[in-house]
C-alpha cells in the first residue's frame, strides 16, 4: 500500500514537471517566432529613450508594454512613427533590455542589472495584465529567489537603486534590501540580538571585553557596506539597531566606513576645491555619528583623523565646537581653521577697498557713506545751523535794543565807510563776525588805538553808564 501511494504521488509530480516544461518551450518558441517575424518586416516606429533612438516594431512592444500601448491607442495619428520616452529609469541600457525581452532575445539577469530591470518594467507597465510571464513577474521572482538570499546580493541591489530613485522606493526594493542586510548582519554576528537561552549569559559580558573581537567579526560583511551612500548606510544602521544589534559594536563599522568612503569627496572645478551640498550634508551626518556615546576614545580619534576640518561648513564647525564628545585636538583644529577663514575674509575686503583709485576714495564717503557716520554728520550739521540762527536772532535783538550812540565804535569808522568804495557781499560767517565785533563795541570795550587817540572817550563811557 505504501509503494502504491508513492507511485501515485510521483506520477502527478512528473506530469506537472512535463507540463511546465512544455509551457516554457511554447513560450520560448513564441518569442523566437516573434523575433524572426520582426526581422523580416521593416521597422514602423522609432523610440527615443534616454537619448538613443531605436528602430523597432509596434506589435512586440504593444503586446508586452502597457505604457507604449496607451501611447499608441491615445494618439490621434494612425501612423505613429515616433515615441518619446525621455525619463525612463536606467536610460537607454534599460530600455534596450526591455526591448530584447519583448522580442524574445535571451539576455542574462544578474544582481547588477536586476534593480534596473525591475524599475524599467514598472515604468513601462510590463505586468501580467498584458502578457503571461511578463518582465515584472520575472524580475520579482529573481529578487525573491536569488538576489535577496545573500548579503552581497542585497548590497548590490541597494547600491544600484541609488540612481533609480524614487521608483526604487515605490517598488520597495530599497526597504527590502535594507531589511535583508540588517537581518543577515544580526544573524551572522555575535553582536546581534541574543536568544532566550543565552540572554542571561550575554548580559554578563561587558562591552569593553567584546570590543577587542568586534572588528574581526564584522569586517567580513561590513566591507560590503562601504559602497553605500551615506543616507542608505544610516538607514541600514538604524535597521540593525532595531533588530537588536549591540551599540558598542557600531564603532568598527563606522571607522571602516569612514576610511573607505569618505576619502575623495572633494571635486575640482576650475582649479579650486568645492564641496557640493549633498557631500556637505554627508560630512555633517558623519560628524553627528562619531559623537555617538558607544564609540570609544581611540575609535573616535581614528574617525576624526580621517576628516578634513578645512572642508566643514560654518554650521558644522559650530556643532563641532559645542560637542563635548569630540576629541580636544579636533575642536582646536576646527576653531583654528574658522579663525583663519575669518582673517582671510577680512584681509581680502581690506585689499579690495585699498585697490580703488584715489578719486574714488575721495568721493567714497559722499557716494557710499556708512549709515552711522551719515546720521551723525547730519545731526551735527542741523545743530550747527540751529545755533547760528539763534545767534543771529540774538544779535539783531541786541542791536535794536541798544542806544544809537553806543553803536558808534570810533569816529574814524563812518568816515572810512564813506571814503572807500562799497565792499563786495560777504558770506554768512563774515557777517556774523562783523556783528559780533559791533556787539562788543556796543558794550563799551574800545580798542587800544582808540584810547590813545581820544582820551575823553573814557569819561563819556562813564557818563553813559
Q: Which domains does the chain have, with CATH numbers?
A: 29-145 (3.30.710.10), 262-354 (no CATH), 402-464 (no CATH)
* pLDDT tens track for 172-223: 999 999 999 988 888 766 554 444 333 333 443 344 444 444 444 555 677 8
| DSSP annotation string for 143-211 | HHHTGGGSHHHHHHHHHHGGGSTTHHHHTTHHHHHHHHHHHHHHHSSTTS---TTTHHHHHTS-HHHHH
Region class of 270: left (phi > 0), else alpha (psi between -120 and 50), else beta: left
Which of the 8 DSSP states describes residue 311?
G
Which residues on adjacent β-strands are paired with residue 391? Answer: none
Question: Collapsing DSSP states into helix, strand and coil, what is residue 242?
Answer: helix
Match 494618439 to its residue by C-alpha cell: 75
The per-residue pLDDT for range 402-439, each reduced to its tens digit, is 655 444 444 444 444 444 445 555 455 555 555 555 55
Q: For residue 132, what pLDDT is reported?
A: 87
% of the chain surpassing 70 pLDDT? 58
389: confidence class by pLDDT, cuts 50, 70, 90: confident
Contact residues for 177 (Cβ-Cβ < 8 A; gap 6+): 148, 154, 155, 157, 158, 161
Write the CB contacts of 259 (distance below 8 Å, at least 6 apart in sequence).
Answer: 306
pTM: 0.48
Per DSSP bridges, beta strands 45-49 and 52-56 are antiparallel
| 18/24 Cα distance (integer angstroms) | 10
Amino acid at each position: 500500500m505504501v509503494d502504491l501511494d508513492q507511485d501515485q504521488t510521483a506520477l502527478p509530480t512528473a506530469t506537472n514537471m512535463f507540463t511546465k516544461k512544455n509551457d516554457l518551450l511554447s513560450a520560448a518558441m513564441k518569442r523566437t517566432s516573434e523575433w524572426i517575424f520582426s526581422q523580416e518586416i521593416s521597422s514602423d516606429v522609432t523610440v527615443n529613450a534616454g537619448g538613443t533612438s531605436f528602430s523597432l516594431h509596434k506589435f512586440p512592444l504593444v503586446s508586452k508594454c502597457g505604457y507604449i500601448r496607451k501611447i499608441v491607442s491615445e494618439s490621434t495619428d494612425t501612423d505613429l512613427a515616433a515615441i518619446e520616452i525621455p525619463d525612463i529609469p536606467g536610460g537607454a541600457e534599460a530600455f534596450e533590455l526591455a526591448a530584447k525581452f519583448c522580442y524574445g532575445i535571451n539576455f542574462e539577469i544578474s544582481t547588477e542589472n536586476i534593480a534596473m530591470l525591475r524599475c524599467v518594467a514598472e515604468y513601462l507597465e510590463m505586468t501580467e495584465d498584458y502578457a503571461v510571464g511578463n518582465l515584472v513577474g520575472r524580475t520579482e521572482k529573481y529578487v525573491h529567489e536569488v538576489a535577496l538570499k545573500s548579503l552581497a546580493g542585497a548590497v548590490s541591489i541597494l547600491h544600484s537603486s541609488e540612481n533609480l530613485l524614487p521608483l526604487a522606493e515605490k517598488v520597495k526594493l530599497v526597504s527590502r534590501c535594507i531589511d535583508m542586510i540588517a537581518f543577515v548582519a544580526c544573524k551572522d554576528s555575535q553582536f546581534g540580538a541574543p536568544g532566550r537561552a543565552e540572554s542571561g549569559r550575554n548580559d554578563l559580558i561587558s562591552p569593553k571585553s567584546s570590543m577587542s573581537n568586534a572588528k574581526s567579526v564584522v569586517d567580513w560583511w561590513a566591507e560590503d557596506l562601504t559602497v553605500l551612500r551615506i543616507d542608505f548606510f544610516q538607514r541600514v544602521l538604524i535597521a540593525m539597531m532595531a533588530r537588536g544589534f549591540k551599540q558598542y559594536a557600531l564603532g568598527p563599522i563606522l571607522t571602516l566606513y569612514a576610511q573607505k568612503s569618505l576619502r575623495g569627496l572633494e571635486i575640482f572645478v576650475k582649479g579650486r576645491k568645492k564641496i557640493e551640498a549633498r557631500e556637505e550634508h554627508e560630512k555633517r551626518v558623519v560628524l553627528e555619528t562619531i559623537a555617538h556615546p558607544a564609540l570609544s576614545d581611540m575609535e573616535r580619534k581614528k574617525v576624526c583623523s580621517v576628516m578634513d576640518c578645512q572642508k566643514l561648513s560654518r554650521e558644522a564647525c559650530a556643532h563641532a565646537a559645542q560637542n563635548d564628545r569630540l576629541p580636544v585636538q579636533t575642536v582646536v583644529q576646527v576653531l583654528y581653521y574658522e579663525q583663519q577663514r575669518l582673517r582671510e575674509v577680512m584681509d581680502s575686503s581690506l585689499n579690495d577697498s585699498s585697490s580703488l583709485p584715489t578719486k574714488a576714495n575721495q568721493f567714497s564717503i559722499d557716494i557710499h557713506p556708512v549709515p552711522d557716520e551719515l546720521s551723525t554728520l547730519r545731526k551735527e550739521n542741523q545743530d550747527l545751523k540751529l545755533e547760528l540762527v539763534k545767534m543771529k536772532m540774538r544779535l539783531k535783538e541786541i542791536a535794536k535794543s541798544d542806544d544809537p550812540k553806543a553803536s558808534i565804535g570810533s569816529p574814524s569808522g563812518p568816515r572810512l565807510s564813506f571814503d572807500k568804495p562799497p565792499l563786495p557781499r560777504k558770506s554768512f560767517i563774515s557777517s556774523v563776525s562783523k556783528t559780533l565785533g559791533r556787539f562788543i563795541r556796543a558794550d563799551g570795550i574800545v580798542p587800544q588805538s582808540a584810547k590813545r587817540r581820544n582820551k575823553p572817550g573814557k569819561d563819556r563811557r562813564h557818563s553813559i553808564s
